[in-house]
Amino acid sequence: MNAKRPLAPFGRRAAPVTFNARYGAYAVIGCADTDGPRPSAGQFYMLSAASRWGGGDAERPYLPRAFSVLRAPAGSAELEFLIEDVGPGTKRLAELAPGDQLQLVGPLGNGFAPPSADTTPLLVGGGVGIAPLAILQDQLAPNAIALLGFRDGAHAAGAELLADPVIATDDGSVGHYGLVTDLLADELDRDDPVTVYACGPPAMLEAVRRICAQRAIPAQLALESGMACGYGACFGCVVATKDGFVRLCVDGPILDGQALNEVAA
């Protein structure tokens, strides 16, 4: 969507970890990337740890993992990533500490496009999918309204990463008891002109796509897919659009909601 996207330097590079901060169920890992261009909101990196990556308890080789950049403060070399420990690779990344080295390739993919003229950005995030919305709020949409959904209170601690969010939780422990798409429908009922930006699990994204399509609201969706290479070579990340299959790592991960018949589970 963003024709002038920053391009990744060739090959993998090391970035020293500068901090590891806990936000409930999540870790935010900061690193100093002195050799790469600054990313656009919505771009992603392939991450791995420089040591004890693969060959751990289960003796399995881990591929790098794709992560949207959470934050890239202006005027610094710092990059931040939001990690949820859901398996051996993410567990290793979530435990990295200052003194460790993060290996990264990026920035990759296309970032978000600016909001349509005279519209307010409306950010809709679910779980770890809030990550690209934080840098979007920093770079493109300081006046954005943020609607964030989480499974429970431990995960809702991640809401601190965005400014002035409205929160929904599946168990009702924080904010609205229900889905973030309930909040979206309420917000759209105001009939204010908005551009929707969304990232989260496929079922949430499909609900956002459908709601926006019914109301002719522009929506940019950050999709997820298994990514083995991150630069278009393996075709492991293809998704169906109205115009055929695209590779999310080079043609996405941000897609226009109107380009999709559905967000597949």
DSSP-derived secondary structure for the chain = --TT---PPSS-EEEEEEEEEEETTEEEEEEE-TTSPPPPTT-EEEEEESSS-SSSTT--PPPPEEEEEEE--TTS-EEEEEEE--SHHHHHHHT--BTBEEEEEEEESB-PPPPPTT-EEEEEEEGGGGHHHHHHHHHT-TT-EEEEEESSHHHHGGGGGSSSEEEEETTSSSSEES-HHHHHHHHHTT---EEEEEES-HHHHHHHHHHHHHHT--EEEE-----SSSSSSS-TTEEEETTEEEEHHHH-BEEEGGG-S----
Of 163 and 233, nearer to ligand FES (C-beta) is: 233
Interface region with ligand FES, contact rule CB under 6 A, candidates 23-31, 52-60, 213-221, 223-231: 223-231
Quick check: 233 binds ligand FES (CB under 6 A)? yes
- The residue within the footprint of ligand FES, chosen from 42, 106, 115, 230 (CB under 6 A), is 230
Quick check: 163 binds ligand FES (CB under 6 A)? no
Q: Compute the residue count for the chain.
A: 265
Quick check: 247 binds ligand FES (CB under 6 A)? yes
Shortest CB 230 distance to ligand FES, Å: 5
Closest Cα partner for 179 from 132, 124, 235, 120?
124
Of 23 and 231, nearer to ligand FES (C-beta) is: 231
Interface region with ligand FES, contact rule CB under 6 A, candidates 22-30, 181-189, 212-220, 227-235: 227-235
Quick check: 63 binds ligand FES (CB under 6 A)? no
Interface region with ligand FES, contact rule CB under 6 A, candidates 2-10, 88-96, 129-137, 235-243: 235-243
- The residue within the footprint of ligand FES, chosen from 134, 219, 237, 255 (CB under 6 A), is 237
Interface region with ligand FES, contact rule CB under 6 A, candidates 50-58, 190-198, 225-233, 253-261: 225-233
Shortest CB 249 distance to ligand FES, Å: 3
Shortest CB 234 distance to ligand FES, Å: 3
30 vs 21, 57, 68, 84, 102, CA distance in Å? Answer: 8, 26, 13, 14, 9
- The residue within the footprint of ligand FES, chosen from 31, 105, 184, 249 (CB under 6 A), is 249
Q: Is the separation of the CB atoms in 256 and 1 below 8 Å?
A: yes
- The residue within the footprint of ligand FES, chosen from 157, 188, 228, 246 (CB under 6 A), is 228
Quick check: 227 binds ligand FES (CB under 6 A)? yes
Of 140 and 239, nearer to ligand FES (C-beta) is: 239
Site residues for ligand FES per CB under 6 A: 227-230, 232-237, 247, 249
